[in-house]
Amino acid sequence: MKIVSIVGSPRGAKGATAALLNLVLDGARSKGAETEMIVIKGPEVKPCRACDVCHKVGVCPQKDQFNVIKDKIIAADGFVLATPNYIFHVTAQLKAFIDRCCGVVHCIGFEGKYGASVVTAGGGDEEDIADYLNHFVAITGGIPIGSVWATMGQIQGQKFPEDFPEDIKGKAFALGERLVTARQNKEKSPRYQSVTAQFAERMRSLIEWRKEEWPWEYEYWRKHRGGV
């Protein structure tokens, strides 16, 4: 089983968010998963240019790491999205990746992947950001199984992961374990199942309406999603 994770932070693998994410990945590995951490500090995934090409031909024309990362998620069993709180939201780095997934969103392209989210913040407000990330997992067709977060200002010391409180370390490890067992047991998410279904209906209508402009997405829906 493969779990791919993305951390969007200029501090990359040395930051607090990557440290918390690493504990989640430790948990996933303890249940036999192979894991990968992909760092987006900035240039790896540039912002969406709203060119519409992904909807017309099925692939983003920008020459950076986006298509590679997208394909890694499609080939994986699960994915974890990790971000620090930057002014009450995900970082611009992670948001660039999310925006570039516009074609994935139209095609519910991460269908069946198990997802989780990781957030750190100086002072709080992590839960709303984690909910946003889990919503993104759901509208791309994934099954969100949970989140873990840490308010760094309340944590003594600066060495991570050692200085994370035991309960946060335990939650992070358990989240990684659950990501693997949820996939093994083919669990459903009662909270998000209807979100995914309703959003897919919205995309079906959109693709039908724009079929002349977005031929690739129309064909994708016709061939792989039972038509529009």
Ligand X SMILES: Cc1cc2nc3c(=O)[nH]c(=O)nc-3n(C[C@H](O)[C@H](O)[C@H](O)COP(=O)(O)O)c2cc1C
Binding site for ligand X (CB under 6 A): 9, 11, 15-18, 84-88, 120-125, 152
Strands lying side by side in the sheet with 78-84: 34-40, 2-8, 78-84, 114-121, 143-151
Taking the least distance from each CB to ligand X, the nearer of 113 and 171 is 171
Identity of the residue numbered 185? N
91 burial via Cβ count (<10 Å: 0-12, 13-18, 19+): buried
Helix axes 190-209, 126-139, angle to 10 degrees: 60
d(CA 181, CA 7): 22
Min dist CB 157 to ligand X, Å, is 14
Name which of 8 and 103 has its Cβ closer to ligand X.
8
* 3-state class (DSSP) for residue 64: coil
Q: 15 vs 109, which CB is nearer to ligand X? A: 15
Nearer to ligand X, 162 or 212 (CB): 162
Tell the smallest beta-carbon distance from residue 94 to ligand X (Å).
Answer: 11
**Rounded Cα distance, 65 and 109, in Å:** 18
Q: What's the min distance (Å) between Cβ of 81 and ligand X?
A: 13
| Minimum distance from residue 211 beta carbon to ligand X (Å) | 41
DSSP 61: -
* Nearest to ligand X of 1, 92 (CB atom): 92
The closest residue (CB) to ligand X is 15
First vs last C-alpha separation in the chain: 32
- Residue 200 CB, shortest distance to ligand X, in Å, is 33
* Cα separation, 76 vs 114, whole angstroms: 9
Compare residues 60 and 116 and give the one whose CB is closer to ligand X: 116
Please report how close the Cβ of residue 187 comes to ligand X at its closest, in angstroms: 29
Contacting residues for 14 by C-beta, under 8 A, at least 6 apart? none
